[in-house]
Structure 1
């Protein structure tokens, strides 16, 4: 779901209308890639398009590229704040977290870190998308349009996390009240968040061949470089030794693959490390 907040707009609702509590323009999209959501998949059944990897899209392209283009060309320019509520889908289980891209200026970066603290996820991280996503995501497109963008990862594994749902509701209310949109909403104070970052490609473990994935670590676990990450077994080749995988760097396991069957290139793990706030400020000064 994407929530986009735009400039002040007069409201036509009366005092008895719940909409009377909303100030400014608020766009809510329960399902941006509706065909994929209806099919319970990350990619669209219409064209196998992964919307989160197709921004800025193409007005004359595939259906998913057209959705990305419409969002990028029409919706995002109307917003000055975008909140994109994600989970790990079918393939990944994520620690409850919120993330932002690095700000392009010191001021923008500090505003983004403030959004993370305001949302109040247990884990918050800064990532430019290296290792997955890059400039193809809604957050990157929103940033190009001049909007602040906050993304969440709230569970996954094709299940509904009640903790993730609660965090989405309370965190979003805090953000919307802070922005002057839900002026009279009662909100809970944000819990402290652990600020982290993703250190490039070495933070990821990918499957190098098709087989059955046996994990050796779990979500939220602290691991060290060289530690066993898991094995890939090959049931169709019983004489072949399992492939052993190790973590290339140290950190906290942010997500882990859920299905046992993995194909070449599937993400098995992603790690995060604590953000050095002082060094981060100096980098964006």
Structure 2
């Protein structure tokens, strides 16, 4: 039974060969009554075999994944494949065009709106299409992220906790094959993890790997290289690109994010002075940084401390900080 959706495309996902077009997201405005928004799409198929769904631009201000998928889409020919690739390099297209985390049309944070709704806002419709049309086609999903304008990340890969030993082993294997220097297992409790693309994929029993490749709204060469090489390794491992030449993955340090105690948040407005670096080993109780209060020149800076020991996974990029802003996230060895 075909899923109900308002999004459509001329691309035939079952056709052989390489097709390049877009999803058409209906959007009626004052100046375009019957308009639609294009979401770029590449589908490459060669015979029977598994399908990989590759996504970037889930958040529009995260660039390593977008460039990696654009490069891959141009490079791959149908004869290279056994199976199918579905590539969406700018999934939340309005956010990508605006260079923003969220859509300027409806302020929708796509990675907090899954599984979405067929008759919801534009961002909800995108989430619904991925959940109900694309996921049933996929055997593995890779969703490429970075820290965006607000965070800087160590280049890393992440998966959700498995619900069974078998699922956990399958997800751990994906991390090993992708080959990020650091990998972590997290349920996303600090950031709405139940409504992410990866959570929606897991609900449909599809293995999903997410990345964090850099941040600060810049393009990290190291993050881009990791994305390109990691994707190749996963696609070769799955048998989709059986002949592709890959670089051997280095050992990955598997870690975990231990709930909300792993985060340091701002409690007041001011200028954030960090006291720890990305990738640094820190201890519970150690000074994380200070917030300087420009509103009150004679008020001493507020000192913040880490609640948990581990490795600094990400750090706030902008210095200007408001209450509730995430300043640090810490990972601990998974054991």
2:251 to 192, 208, 218: 192
CA shift, 1:167, in A, is 0.8
Whether 2:204 is the aligned partner of 1:145: answer yes
Number of residue equivalences: 267
The match for 2:319 among 260, 264, 273 is: 260
* Preserved CA contact (<8 Å) 1:9 1:23: no
Distance (Å, rounded) in 2 between the aligned partners of 1:25 and 1:169: 18
Structure 2 residue corresponding to 1:225, chosen from 257, 273, 284: 284
Cα distance change of structure 1 residues 81 and 232 upon mapping to structure 2, 3 Å threshold: same
Q: After TM superposition, give the deviation of residue 41 of structure 1 in Å.
A: 1.1
Deviations 1:17-72 (A, max 9, x none): 82211121211000111111111111111121111111111222222122111111
Bigger RCO of structures 1 and 2 (CA < 8 A, at least 6 apart): 1
TM-score (norm 1): 0.90
Gaps of 5+ in 1: 1-7, 277-285
Does 1:129 find its partner at 2:134? no
Q: Give the deviation of 1:117 after TM superposition.
A: 0.4
Given the two structures, how large is their TM-score scaled by the length of structure 2?
A: 0.77
Contact 1:10-1:24 within 8 A present in 2 as well: no
Deviation larger for 259-268 or 245-254: 259-268
Contact 1:231 1:244 in 2 (8 A): yes
1:114-173 Cα offsets, whole Å, 9 max, x none, are 010000000011111111132111000001111000001001111111111111111100
* Cα deviations by residue, 1:239-263 (Å, 9 ceiling, x for unpaired): 3332211000101000000000112
Give 2:55's aligned residue: none
Q: Is 1:61 the equivalent of 2:120?
A: yes
**In structure 1, C-alpha distance between the alignment counterparts of 2:94 and 2:119, rounded to whole Å:** 18
2:299 is equivalent to residue 240 of structure 1: yes
SS of residue in 2 equivalent to 1:86: coil
- Verify the 8 A CA contact 1:80 1:146 in the aligned structure 2: no
User: 1: CA distance between counterparts of 2:221 and 2:153?
Assistant: 14
In the other structure, the counterpart of 1:21 is 80
Q: 1:164 aligns with which of 205, 223, 226?
A: 223
What displacement does 1:12 show?
A: 4.2
